[in-house]
Chain A
Amino acid sequence: MTMIFGVPLAVFMGQLTLGLVNGAFYALLSLGLAVIFGLLKIVNFAHGAQYMLGAFAALLGFRYLGINYWLALLLVPLVVGAFGVLLERFLLRRIAHLDHLYGLLLTFGLALIFEGTLVNFFGVSGARYATPEILQGGLNLGFMFLPTYRAWVLVAALAMCLFTWFMIERTRLGAYLRAGTENSQLMQAFGVNVPLLITLTYGFGVALAAFAGVLAAPLYPVSPTMGSSLLIVVFAVVVIGGMGSILGAIITGLAMGIIEGLTKVYYPEASNTVIFFVMIVVLMLRPVGLFGKEA
């Protein structure tokens, strides 16, 4: 059997795939955080809770309304995104003129409310969401076994990342968004409806989190606390990559997933802390983050 640094190739590749899949989630979530941060200048602490709401919406939609996975993948981001639009319109907008730390505190409070409410109804032990039939099983690639669903998550998450990148960098709406990030007052003077743009941007960021949640539902146990621990790791990823660039967020997310996966192979004790250590090293060598602009 082929060995890589004393580890069987199949095990090595298996963990690498797991890491890449986790990295795809880091990328999707940090991308959403970066999009929201760009225009609203707040860190959306409810992002993890919104990811969790996405997974729960898929689960409950299936259980009570018979909505299948594919429909959920389309509908849930729209519904949760619309919910995000309401949050921005009625809560976040009221404190937009204040220090941006208040935005962080407000969304933290919202995260506590969402998480606590669902814990009361569903407990902390997770529920299972069935993998759609067509994506069950796996491919034998000869040197490793690749579960189809993981491959699909990787493809879908990357496609969504690229779609977001395209929307922001190559469309007119994206141009407005980038201009608003640079100078929203000037944009408003040019007749662009900036408040509407802000609302839609927040809604889009929340929809991205919900999309990630639906993707994650068949992979991890669906529980009310699934988002919060993930979010802290994503924060570390954001500190490592900086929130300045879309591609930076995607690359950093995937890279951190791979590093985490490899740590699981060679030094499993540190697998849940390695990203924080990377963050510390980055802070010491390049405080603005790998893709951050010098202030």
Chain B
Amino acid sequence: MMTESQPMAAPSAVMEREKRAKFRRNMFYLALIVVGLVAPFLAYPVFLMKVLCFALFACAFNLLLGYAGLLSFGHAAFLATGGYVTGYLLASYPGLTPELGIIAGTLMATLLGVLFGVLSIRRQGIYFAMVTLAIAQLVYFMFVQAPFTGGEDGLHGVPRGELFGFISLSSNLAMYYFVFAIFIFGFALIQRTVHSPFGQVLKAIRENEPRAVSLGYNADAYKLVAFVISAGLAGLAGSTKTVVFQLASLTDAHWHMSGEVILMTLLGGVGTLLGPLMGAGIVVSLQHILAQSPLGNWVSVILGIIFVFCVLSFRSGIVGELDKMYRKNFK
């Protein structure tokens, strides 16, 4: 139980507590990494890779919604751009190694993020959502018509190739560890961003933009940077996904995908670091299980029902609710 005297505690005691919390957090992450390392021996690696790709996608989306308060309804555009660019390059230039293809796809998505960001942060709230949705639809139509995307068929037979030119990714296990490393990189980047002074200002803008502006922060610049990081990481997720599944298709560019990533984040917990990972795991598993069951045709209805349920009575998401329970009982 909190006592009145505790806030008066000596600075060293506070620091001690912070240190212990940080230690616990690090141990927790370490445990997660160990779980990630042994996971491919316990579950089907391709399934795990799918979860990791979507988890990175959802984490990137969450950086924007959870920490900058911006609801983007167009993140599918970045996922697809990363995927198509990587897929096209790897399929057309056999000498190109997969990591270079992924970097190129990520860069392209980042550039698109700058364009999207400059346009969409001119409007706020629901207008922001509508603008991002509309620009993403524009990108979708461009992919339908562009000569290099294979139109309705998509790109098939993208080679996985050899990492750095000498590690063959044709085995799912090798591929898994590569994807895992990429996920760790993306997650760490987001973790660093959120806990940096930059992340603090972002949260201040989310809570009260006029006040942050009056304190001298250029709110638009902060939002733009957050948007670009989020877009780039979404592109990284898309690029990686293309290498894993050796294809890129219009499904990734469709607005349904933008909706799915919102659902993953909402279900796991908006504004929590682990929520999107958990949300992505649940949604991907659900799709996987439902696809094999008699309910296979009802996936979109079931996702819709979860959506409505989350908004009505589960707004903190799984991780958010667990966090609340933990705080209530153990602090």
User: A-side interface residues toward B, CB under 8 Å?
Assistant: 37, 42-43, 91, 94-95, 98, 100-102, 104-106, 108-113, 115-117, 119-120, 228, 232-233, 235-236, 238-239, 269, 272-273, 276-277, 279-280, 283-284, 287
Contacts and interface: CB of A to CB of B under 8 A. Distances in A.
A225 to B, nearest CB: 11
A273 to B, nearest CB: 5
Contacts of A272: 141
Main secondary structure of the interface of A (DSSP, over half): helix
B300 A287 contact: no
Contacts of A112: 259, 300-301, 303-304, 307
Contacts of A111: 304
B266 interface: yes
A119 B300 contact: yes
A228 B255 contact: yes
A188 B301 CA distance: 38
5 contacts: A112-B301, A235-B133, A280-B135, A280-B138, A287-B123
Given A228-B255, A232-B134, A106 B307 contact: yes
Interface stretch (B124-132, B174-182, B245-253): B124-132
Contacts of A239: 123, 127, 130-131, 134
Interface of B: 71, 119-120, 122-123, 125-127, 129-131, 133-135, 137-138, 141-142, 145, 255, 259, 262, 266, 297-301, 303-308, 310-312, 315
A15 B141 CA distance: 21
A104 B126 contact: yes
A91 B309 CA distance: 10
B126 A101 contact: yes
Contact of B312 (A106, A120, A238, A283): A106
Main secondary structure of the interface of B (DSSP, over half): helix
Given A101-B129, A104-B126, A235-B134, A109 B301 contact: no
A224 to B, nearest CB: 10
A287 B312 contact: no
B129 A109 contact: no
B134 A236 contact: yes
A63 B266 CA distance: 41
Contact of B125 (A94, A100, A280): A100
A102 to B, nearest CB: 5
Contact of A105 (B133, B135, B266): B266
Contacts of B259: 108, 112
Given A112-B307, A232-B137, A236-B134, A91 B312 contact: yes
A276 B298 contact: no
A37 B126 CA distance: 10
B264 to A, nearest CB: 13
A170 B262 CA distance: 41
A112 B298 CA distance: 10
Given A42-B126, A116-B300, A232-B133, A104 B141 contact: no
